[in-house]
A and B are shown apart, each in its own frame.
Chain A
Amino acid sequence: MFGLPLLSLIIFLPVLGILILFFIPKAQTSTIRGVSVATTLVTFLLSLLILAHFNTAQPGFQLEEKLSWIPQVNINYHVGVDGLSYSMIFLTALLCFLACFASFSIKDRIKEYFIFYLMLEVGMIGTFLALDLFLFYVFWEITLVPMYFLIGIWGGSRKEYAAIKFFLYTLAGSVFMLLGILALYFNSAPHTFSIVELIAQNSLFPRLFQNIIFAALFFGFAIKVPVFPFHTWLPDAHVEAPTPASVLLAGVLLKMGGYGFFRISYPILPEAAKFFAPAIALLALIGIVYGAFVAMAQTDFKKMVAYSSVSHMGFVMLGLASLNPIGFSGAYLQMFNHGIITGAMFLLVGVLYDRAHTRDLNAFGGLREVVPVFSGMLIFFSLASLGLPGLSGFVSEFLSLLGGFKAFRLFTIISVTGIIVTAGYILFMIQRILLGPLNPKWKSLAEINTREILTLVPLLILTLALGVYPKLILDILNPGLNLILKAIGVAN
């Protein structure tokens, strides 16, 4: 429309918000919040506008923009959108908009907070839209900094530890990723950072080279996802981060890892993808079962949700490793659904924590009597999280497992125990918080307020809609996934 560079617009719109924020005195909190909400809202509307200009049935990238950036080394500002990135942008824009409301409970250094918040949005959207590996890496790193500060300044009691751990851990992964990217650049002919061109010449890379690069990239992405032995930064970061940061961390940042696999590792290094598939499936299996086990043992609500993320993201890896359309759809859908459901779960944890100032599961009990609406919401999203049919989590877990079953029978059979344990810890959590006799300490606990309800309702509707009619999103994803499968060379 009007020939606007929609993608650049959506990436850099939050920058405009940041610039405006610079000129607002820090005392005017309501103006600052208003500007931030407006920025995220416009970004979200832009994401809808992109959908209107986006042909979902057409595979490949659309609305591409390409500008020469550093021509000496063939680095371009190259962005484009396809079904895979679109779904992630939509998720990012939506969660940013909603978490912005949850940010109202932040009370100190509001201006700095929102500046970092919007900066984070720039990085996230940019990562999902970049088609140039260098640009991708830049955006990828941009997300680190604001998140570091969000955790380190507005976090909980062990915030410094968590923030530094998060930063160093993910940075360590990024270094390997950068090495991988550079190796790809120097081994392509002509030297290029363009993802599209690299995919086109993916058959030229020798097998050993592919394996090494895949492993390097794997570190970068796997730490972000996080895949089993690299997951320990996640619980710490989640527990210490303020609610909106947790939402974005779980909802979007983890997806960047999965997105990296889909967008870069798999199509560019198909031989390695096949070679490593069993190993990834094994890690996924461990992640699913082990994450669920550890979640079961938690007494901290937020930590439990954090470990459930480890378990749920295991399904993404399982679907990825399966290398078939069902598994891929399941994995990608699981990324999207996990963003929505776990985002909502973190919002709910935040709602509870704001009122009770504790997250100890054993400290609650019988809250259903006092806060029925909150309880309804919590039960709804918990059920979605445990994969109840009719809600979105089910479809993706089902497809991941179904895809995994085709490729790795034994692994999947063991993974299925994960969904049993998941039911266990989720219901155990519900039992400890909502059921049982009312702990008299919470007799006058305040009910969830309208702002918080309105924050959750869009997520609720999406969860339900995607659970009942997953075609809505699968139709957007399918062309992109088929293209990746074609690039890997798996017969569709």
Chain B
Amino acid sequence: MVNAAYSLALLPVVGFIVNIFFGSKLKLKGALFSIACIAGSFLCACLLLRHVIAGNSIEQSATWFTCGKYSFSAGLVIDQLTAIMLIVVTLVSLLVQIYSIGYLHGEKNSTRFFAFISLFTFSMLGLVLADNLILVYVFWELVGLCSYLLISYWYNKPSAALAGKKAFITNRIGDAGFFLGIATLFYYLGTANFREIAEKLHHGGFDPHIITIAGILLFCGAIGKSAQFPLHVWLPDAMEGPTPASALIHAATMVAAGVYLTVRSYSVFSAGNFSLQFVSYIGIITSLLAASIALVQNDIKKILAYSTISQLGLMMVALGVGGYTAGVFHLMTHAFFKALLFLCAGAVIHNTGVQDIRQMGGLFGKMKITASTCFIACLAIAGVPPFSGFWSKDEILLAAFNHNKVLYGLSSLVAFMTAFYMFRLYILTFTGKPRDPHLHPHESPKVMTWPLIILASLSAVSGLIGSPLTNHWFSHFIYFHPEHHIEVNYLVMYSSIAVGLLGIAMAWLFYKACPNIPKALAENYKPIYNLLLNKYYIDEIYDTVIVRPFLALTRFSFSFDSKIIDGSVNGTATVTIWISTIKAWIDKYIVDGLVNLTASMVGAIGIVLRRLQSGFIQNYILLIFTSVIIIVLLKLI
């Protein structure tokens, strides 16, 4: 089984290497090879899942390197959580790659895309498999790199290049906190291994303040990666990348890594005295913020991006209020339906060439499969039973209800807004009449529709594994504290259904029945509308408060460096030269004055004697011998 785990992780590396080095020659074959590799990984993941369901787990670790008495190990752990994540990652990656063959058809050098996707899959699998925080950090940054590479895939587009950079740097800010969290834990607990951390914390005797700080620092990483407020700004911009990449990375898997990290190190969070609250507060702020922005956006991918942020926020809320299982459950279902939504959006963009939903409309007739799968995904995210989103969202709301009523209310509001904006998107895109006569959409090829169908069926049914119908199988599979008895709170369940349906109904009312209402609202509440449309001006605020002062500071540093520091070096040189000049003056007129006096006397003699200095060698020889004779004569006399 360990071999399965290794081949699971290493197959995508093979795909990456083949595609990055030989891609330009292999072309489509390279893409197929990469898909084959991922398919192999998926099979391994299935094997491992079966192994885990059978009640086993794998843990293996070896020394990576040592520094004195400190030893750093690298290892993998496969338990229930890992197994689920492996399935999600490999499956979505597989489907996205298949889909990409169609999506990137005719694209020059598309093997680069497959190479990056393979690398990403490897990194993500590594992140999931890693058994300690340091290793997680390694893969954490690697997935960030892949995200960077894929966002700026169309590197000629300046906006894509900028977006990639923004994503990487924003993530780095979070990672810095993550690193400090690791360092704190490493020194305080003496280990970075998840299991050992949990064991040590279980025994207790630790200062909860330090653990709280460590937890919040770790969560900084999650804030960056999962695009939580205040570091969420990169995700909407990341939509510059190819849509399949967005589906895989910025919807289903990588952005969920923050949630995964929080889940993995849940023992740290729960041992602290404030960290869980912090998680839930950040989660709910993000969730509300993103959902409200999504209400008024017009770019189809931007809406989905804000939706993703909002859903991730909900997962954080779930974790913050103790809904460990609910968070993971929603992570899984969200991966399926959000990937599906992105792929649908990709199909629409691919076939129409526009991203603005106001230009679309009436696509249902032209793209039946895409539209119907998208409908299923919208139902799932809106929380309509029996689709998957309902069950997971219901669990989140239940956890919030049991924990904090205010959070519950706000979460319900988020659910309402979610249903509203998703159906706004659906109605504007697929129903009604075509608004732009220049568009000639058609259905995508089969290679693109089949992944949609598979994901749609998963979005429809995957929720059932955590529903009362299967006796909450999922919560018996993944749990933090084993719960023997799970009661169904019908109040929460019905209100959740009601909220979802209300949102759908309102969307129908606004955009189907009375299309004038949104306009009127936008007119009457223009400041609020603009605030939402401009994403609360957060990008602008960051630009003025952080980016510009930062750049100014760098320029100031440089001029400080070249003027003051280097200036003092050069100044030293100049001062030395001044001193030398003064000394030279003294030398010249005082010390030299005496010398000159002597010299002028010598000079007078020299005027006489200079005739000897003819410069002719024979003259000198003659002089030499004259002298010899004189000396000899003197001696003789």
Q: Do chains A and B touch in the complex (CB under 8 A)?
A: yes
- Answer whether residue A290 sits at the interface, using C-beta atoms and an 8 A cutoff: yes
Q: Which of A412, A471, A492 contacts B65 (CB 8 A)?
A: A471
Q: Within the complex, which residue of A325, A388, A438 is in contact with B156, where a contact is CB–CB below 8 Å?
A: A438
Interface centre among A233, A328, A401, A423 (most CB of B within 10 A): A423
- Given A423-B172, A431-B165, decide whether A389 and B554 contact each other with a Cβ distance below 8 A: no
Which residues from B are CB-within-8-Å of A475?
A: 65-66
**Is B155 a contact of A413 with CB atoms below 8 Å?**
no
The reply to whether B141 and A478 form a contact with Cβ atoms under 8 Å apart is no
Chain B residue with the shortest CB-CB distance to A434: B155
Shortest C-beta distance, A475 to chain B (Å), equals 8
Are B554 and A492 in contact, with the CB atoms below 8 A?
Answer: no
B162 in contact (CB, < 8 A): yes
Interface residues on A, range: 35 or more
Cβ of A369: which chain B residues have Cβ within 8 Å of it?
A: 155-156
Could you mark each residue 19-30 of chain B with 1 if its beta carbon is under 8 Å from any beta carbon of chain A, else 0?
010000000000
Those of A359-399 within 8 Å (CB) of chain B: 366, 368-369, 376, 383, 388-390, 394-395, 398-399
Check if B165 sits within 8 Å of A427, measured CB to CB: yes
Q: Is A79 an interface residue (CB 8 A)?
A: no
Q: CB-defined interface of A200-232 with B at 8 Å, one 1/0 digit per residue?
A: 000000000000000000000000000001011
B58 within 8 A of A: no
**Docked complex Cα distance between A324 and B67 (Å):** 9
How many Å lie between the Cα of A420 and that of B550 in the bound state? Answer: 12
Interface status of A435 (Cβ within 8 A of chain B): yes
Q: A233-B569, A416-B179, A416-B180 are in contact. Are A431 and B67 (CB under 8 A)?
A: no
B204 at the interface (CB under 8 A from A): no
What mask results when residues 124 to 140 of chain B are scored 1 for a CB within 8 Å of chain A, else 0? 00000000001001111
Verify B67–A293 contact, CB threshold 8 A: no
Known: A298-B558, A417-B176, A470-B65. A435 touches B152 (CB 8 A): yes
State whether the Cβ of A169 lies closer than 8 Å to any Cβ in chain B. yes
Inter-chain contact B67/A399, CB cutoff 8 Å:
yes
B566 interface residue, CB < 8 Å from A? yes
Per the 8 Å Cβ criterion, residues 130-172 of B in contact with A are: 134, 137-142, 145, 148, 152, 155-158, 160-162, 164-165, 168-169, 172
Q: A248: CB under 8 A from chain B?
A: no
| B155 x A436 contact (CB < 8 A) | yes
Assuming the contacts A388-B145, A436-B161, asked whether A232 and B565 have C-beta atoms less than 8 A apart, the reply is yes
| A261 CB-CB contact with B under 8 Å | no
B179 interface neighbour in A165, A236, A401, Cβ under 8 Å: A401
For residue B278, CB closer than 8 A to chain A, the reply is no
User: In whole angstroms, how far apart are the Cα atoms of A405 and B140 in the complex?
Assistant: 21
**Counting CB contacts under 8 A, is B490 at the interface?**
no
Contact with A along B539-582 (1 / 0, CB 8 A): 00000000000010111011001100110010001000000000
**Per-residue 0/1 for A295-339: is the Cβ within 8 Å of any B Cβ (1 yes, 0 no)?**
011100000000000000000000000001110111000000000
B155's partner among A368, A402, A478 (CB-CB below 8 A) is A368
Query: Cβ of A325 and Cβ of B67 under 8 Å apart?
Result: yes
Q: Is the CB of A427 within 8 A of B65?
A: no
Q: Chain B nearest CB: distance from A227 CB in Å?
A: 12
Q: Determine if B55 is an interface residue (Cβ-Cβ < 8 Å).
A: no
* Residue A60 lies at the interface, judged by CB distance under 8 Å to chain B: no
The answer to whether the Cβ of A437 comes within 8 Å of any Cβ in the partner chain is yes
- Whether B68 pairs with A481 at a CB distance below 8 angstroms is yes
Contact B168 A389 (CB under 8 A): no
Contact with B along A416-447 (1 / 0, CB 8 A): 11011101100110010011111000000000
Tell yes or no: B183 within 8 A of A by CB: yes
> How close is A310's CB to chain B, nearest CB, in angstroms?
9
CB of B158 within 8 A of CB of A229, answer no
Contact indicator B65/A293 (Cβ below 8 Å):
no
Contacts of B554 in A (CB 8 A): 293-294, 296-297, 421
A474 within 8 Å of B (CB atoms):
yes
B105 sits at the interface (CB 8 A): no
The answer to whether A485 has its CB under 8 Å from any CB of chain B is yes
Give Cα A438–Cα B180 distance, bound, in whole angstroms: 40
Contacts of A399 in B (CB 8 A): 67
Nearest B-chain residue to A395, judged by Cβ: B65
Residues of chain A lying within 8 A (CB to CB) of residue B140: 389
A474→B65 contact, CB < 8 A: yes
Residue B281 interfacial (CB < 8 Å):
no
Give the complex CA separation of A424 and B134 in angstroms: 23
Residue of B nearest to A231 (CB): B565
A424 to B164, CA, bound (A): 11
| Most chain A CB atoms below 10 A, which of B139, B555, B565 | B565
| Pairwise interchain contact A435-B161, C-beta atoms closer than 8 A | yes
Please, which residues of chain A bring their CB within 8 A of the CB of B566? Answer: 232, 236
CB distance from B200 to the nearest CB of A (A): 18
Determine if A482 is an interface residue (Cβ-Cβ < 8 Å): yes
Contact in complex: B551, A296 (CB < 8 Å): yes
Contacts of B148 in A (CB 8 A): 427
Q: Say whether A26 faces chain B, with CB atoms less than 8 Å apart.
A: no
Beta-carbon contact of B561 and A471 below 8 Å: no
Q: A293-B557, A296-B551, A297-B555 are in contact. Are A420 and B67 (CB under 8 A)?
A: no
B186 located at the interface, meaning its Cβ lies under 8 Å from any Cβ of chain A in the complex: yes
Determine which of A402, A427, A437, A470 lies in contact with B168 in the assembled complex, contact meaning CB atoms within 8 Å.
Answer: A427
> Which residues of the partner chain A approach B139 to less than 8 Å between Cβ atoms?
389
Q: Does A406 contact B (CB under 8 A)?
A: yes
Q: Nearest chain A CB to B616's CB is how many angstroms away?
A: 36
Q: Is the CB of B66 within 8 A of A471?
A: yes
**With a CB–CB cut-off of 8 A, which chain A residues contact B162?**
431
Alpha-carbon separation in the docked complex, A412 to B184 (Å): 12
Task: Note all chain A residues with C-beta closer than 8 A to B187.
Answer: 405-406
- Bound together, the chains give a CA A425 to CA B26 distance in angstroms of 35
Interface residues of A in 472-486 (CB under 8 A from B): 474-475, 478, 481-482, 485
6 closest A-B pairs by beta carbon, nearest first, are A325-B68, A435-B161, A389-B138, A297-B558, A232-B566, A329-B67
18 contacts between A and B (CB under 8 A): A165-B569, A232-B562, A290-B561, A297-B555, A297-B557, A326-B67, A389-B138, A390-B138, A395-B65, A398-B179, A405-B180, A406-B183, A420-B173, A427-B165, A435-B161, A474-B66, A481-B68, A492-B69
Give the A-binding residues of B (Cβ under 8 A). Answer: 20, 63-70, 134, 137-142, 145, 148, 152, 155-158, 160-162, 164-165, 168-169, 172-173, 176, 179-180, 183-184, 186-187, 551, 553-555, 557-558, 561-562, 565-566, 569, 573
Extra contacts besides A368-B155, A376-B20 (9): CB < 8 Å: A232-B562, A297-B557, A366-B156, A390-B138, A390-B142, A406-B183, A427-B169, A434-B155, A471-B66
